Amino acid sequence: MHLPTLRQLEFLCAVADHGSFSKAAEACFVTQPTLSAAIKEIEGHLGVQLIEREARGASLTQAGEAAVERARTILSDTADLVSAARQAGAPLTGPFRLGAIPTIAPFLLPRTLKALRKAHPNLKLYLREDQTERLLDGLKNRTLDAALIALPWEANGIETMDLGDDEFLLVAPTGHDLISQHAIRSTDLVDEDVLLLEDGHCLRDHALSVCRLPSKRGGADVTATSLPTLVHMVAGGLGVSLLPKLAIDAGVASGADVELKPFETPMIGRRIGIAWRTGSPRASEAQMIGEIVRRAL
């Protein structure tokens, strides 16, 4: 079977992107006739018209749409092959773009980075703090190599590695009833004012779900933008809340006028994990970084 050239596939995608032979040619750093000939050749080999030549540019036929979609994954897979191989030659070196959600990053990374630097001095780590959704977008569009998020999180084309549990503790104003209570369960919070992070933080959703709270409750919802803020609000008597042990260990509650208390078994909490794009050339590095983070947990 006669295969098209990757170059030709690039040309095809470029035409799809720019809607014009000339623009596409420019983007590919070739002249328009070159590109025209290449497209014509693909069409010849495939026996199908892929591109509709119109007066005002070019558009894809149905077959073209399908072909472009396949071509894009082929090209990106090939790019992955290249960087994976390059990486294999010099593992854990060069730039690595790691994302982390805001309820993990400030508490976990300080400890981790030191260990990471020690283990892999040639690794240049670029950090990005953002909410889960956007981190996963980053993985998919290749602006991130890996991301620390809370599991489980199913997403197509994303693989994850489990790094351990992160228990939730009750945080309440000093002297609050719940603290003196013998044993508290997550469901005891139904009648409390539970303070939460603002919408979009996965910790908010976790807290809601472990307490079996409806996502929309009556009354004015009081939300915080970060965990330190949340602690202050609890200290101020606005209500109680949950804090991940990770944040507590990092000292987020120290000095504030609050008390902490673990829940009765079964433990409630979240799982921390590292995620990467399926087939990412740096998947193995993501796992090695994950291993180091796990030890730091």
Note whether 168 and 245 are within 8 A (CB).
yes
Q: With CB cut-offs between 5 and 8 Å by kind, which of a copy of itself, DNA, none does residue 74 bind? A: a copy of itself
Shortest distance in whole angstroms from residue 80 CB to a copy of itself: 7
- Mask of contacts with a copy of itself, 72-101, x by CB under 8 A? -xxx-xxxxxxxxxx-xxx-----------
Can residue 13 be called a binding residue for DNA (CB under 7 A)? no
Of 79 and 127, the one with the shorter C-beta distance to DNA is 79
Can residue 16 be called a binding residue for DNA (CB under 7 A)? no
The torsion angles phi and psi of 260, rounded to 5 degrees, stand at -115, 150
73: which 2 tokens?
């994954």
Q: With CB cut-offs between 5 and 8 Å by kind, which of DNA, a copy of itself, none does residue 33 bind? A: DNA
Note whether 127 and 95 are within 8 A (CB).
no
Shortest distance in whole angstroms from residue 4 CB to DNA: 9
Note whether 172 and 261 are within 8 A (CB).
yes
Handedness of CA 213, 214, 218, 224 (dihedral sign): positive
Can residue 47 be called a binding residue for a copy of itself (CB under 8 A)? yes
Note whether 272 and 245 are within 8 A (CB).
no
Handedness of CA 207, 210, 215, 218 (dihedral sign): negative
Please list, in sequence order, all residues whose beta carbon lies within 8 angstroms of the beta carbon of residue 5, skipping any fewer than 6 positions away: 38
Q: DSSP label at 195?
A: -
Shortest distance in whole angstroms from residue 29 CB to DNA: 6
Of 48 and 250, the one with the shorter C-beta distance to a copy of itself is 48
Of 9 and 170, the one with the shorter C-beta distance to a copy of itself is 9
Please list, in sequence order, all residues whose beta carbon lies within 8 angstroms of the beta carbon of residue 99, skipping any fewer than 6 positions away: 127, 128, 129, 130, 135, 138, 139, 144, 146, 147, 148
Stretch binding a copy of itself (CB under 8 A), from 1-9, 123-131, 153-161, 251-259: 1-9
Which residues within the stretch 43-102 sit at the binding site for DNA (CB under 7 A)? 53, 55-58
Can residue 119 be called a binding residue for a copy of itself (CB under 8 A)? no
Q: With CB cut-offs between 5 and 8 Å by kind, which of DNA, a copy of itself, none does residue 232 bind? A: none
Can you tell me the distance from the alpha carbon of 172 to that of 177, in angstroms, rounded to the nearest whole number?
A: 9
Q: Using CB under 7 A, count the residues that bind DNA.
A: 23
Of 82 and 260, the one with the shorter C-beta distance to a copy of itself is 82
Binding residue for DNA (CB under 7 A) from 9, 13, 39, 196?
A: 39
Q: What is the DSSP string of 2-26?
A: -PPPHHHHHHHHHHHHHSSHHHHHH
| Residues forming the site for DNA (CB under 7 A) | 5, 7, 20-23, 29-34, 36-41, 53, 55-58
Residues forming contacts to a copy of itself in the complex (CB under 8 A) are: 1-6, 9, 45-48, 50, 62-63, 66-67, 70-71, 73-75, 77-86, 88-90, 279
